Amino acid sequence: MDRPGLQRLLADIAAGRVNTIVVYKIDRLTRSLADFAKIVEVLDARGVSFVSVTQQFNTTTSMGRLTLNVLLSFAQFERAVIGERIRDKIAGSKKKGMWMGGIPPLGYGVRDRKLVIVDSEETVRAIFRRYAELGSVRLLKDELEARGINSKSWTSASGRCIGGKPFSRGALYQVLQNRTYRGEIVHKGQPHPGEHPPIIDQPLWDAVHAQLASNRAERKSVTRACQPSLLTGMLLDGDGNRMTPSYAVKNGTRYRYYVSRPRITNNQTEQSAGPTRGSSRGVQFAAGAARGLRAKDTKVGCACLKVITMAGSPARPRIGPLCNGCWPTSRRVAHPR
């Protein structure tokens, strides 16, 4: 149904510019039984007839409709079989290390349906060497941009120029993890020895990926060490502004709370004296968020979550795991983590 030609045909039918559709075979219109049922509804609504030159059937009778459904079922089965054969052919060819088409990566070109090394191979080696020395994709990106080294550029079949722009961090990660540079072809995550020559040798590849793994482990450890604020992105103050998590440390204990974003951008000079009830909108957001939390997620003894504001500052909601019986009145209410 998403084919451009079919969509133009349906638009002409809706506009009343078509009386009869003539096809060589039914499967030339569609090979999907479900799609054909939708097309028939459109044809019946507009009074448009459907004719197949090589297949005789009459959709006005029950036997004719049965014949049409049988023909379409075989067409859909044929399409599924062709798809399976093509996928099997691609998988078998990639296991043999053959290049199965597409845009070749930086440093390679295509000749006689095979990957060959081109002049930009030195750029690829320089990217790998500099990352092994710098150990940071961000620093590598800045250096390549300063040196005027851009990504691969090519011209599409329609004549549009693509690429040739400074590397982004995501593009550099793809280059550093592309096993094609090791002379391999990857299919569904499984690498296979390729027919093309490698650009990166094994020692440099191992050094780069050891650095990538080290950086990935450091990021994970930092993320696990940081205790997330569970209600981030769920709370708004009385004016509809998003609330940002913050915290304070007292006697070695970290207290988490939430601050309205305008209060962060403006100079904060006022100090509040005691808590008062927050806006009803903030309470609704906190209550909805609290229902999504489990008692073990809050890591506090009381599972009750309330939004309160400091006196004289209606735009500064705070969140405290407190009930009416343990609500303090002489100090800031915070969310201990």
pLDDT value for 227: 57
pLDDT value for 313: 42
Per-residue pLDDT tens for 73-118? Answer: 888 898 899 999 999 999 999 999 999 888 889 889 888 888 999 8
pLDDT tier for residue 59 given thresholds of 50, 70 and 90: low
* Longest CA span, the chain: 89
Dihedral of CA atoms 284, 289, 294, 298 in degrees, nearest 10, equals -100
Residue 276 resides in a domain: yes
Closest CA to 93 of 227, 182, 195, 243: 195
Per-residue pLDDT tens for 196-241? Answer: 999 999 999 999 999 998 887 666 555 554 556 777 778 888 888 8
Q: Under a CB-based contact definition with an 8 Å cutoff, are residues 76 and 33 in contact?
A: yes
**Average pLDDT score, the chain:** 75
Domain that holds residue 183: 108-154+161-225
Q: Given its phi and psi angles, is residue 332 left (phi above 0), alpha (psi -120 to 50 degrees) or beta?
A: beta
pLDDT value for 317: 41
Residue 306 resides in a domain: yes
135: CATH:
3.90.1750.20
Helix residue spans in the chain (DSSP H): 4-14, 33-46, 62-95, 121-134, 137-146, 169-176, 202-225, 261-265, 280-291, 295-298
For 50, the 3-state DSSP assignment is strand
d(CA 61, CA 47): 17
Number of compact structural domains in the chain: 3
Q: What's the whole-model pTM score? A: 0.53
Residue 232 resides in a domain: no
pLDDT value for 203: 93
Per-residue pLDDT tens for 270-303? Answer: 433 343 334 444 444 444 444 444 333 333 333 3
Q: Under a CB-based contact definition with an 8 Å cutoff, are residues 297 and 318 in contact?
A: no
Based on the fold, state whether residues 135 and 221 are members of the same structural domain: yes
Q: Under a CB-based contact definition with an 8 Å cutoff, are residues 124 and 200 in contact?
A: yes
What mean pLDDT is predicted for residues 23-30?
80
Based on the fold, state whether residues 90 and 135 are members of the same structural domain: no
What mean pLDDT is predicted for residues 313-336?
41
Per-residue pLDDT tens for 126-164? Answer: 999 999 999 899 999 999 999 998 888 888 778 888 888
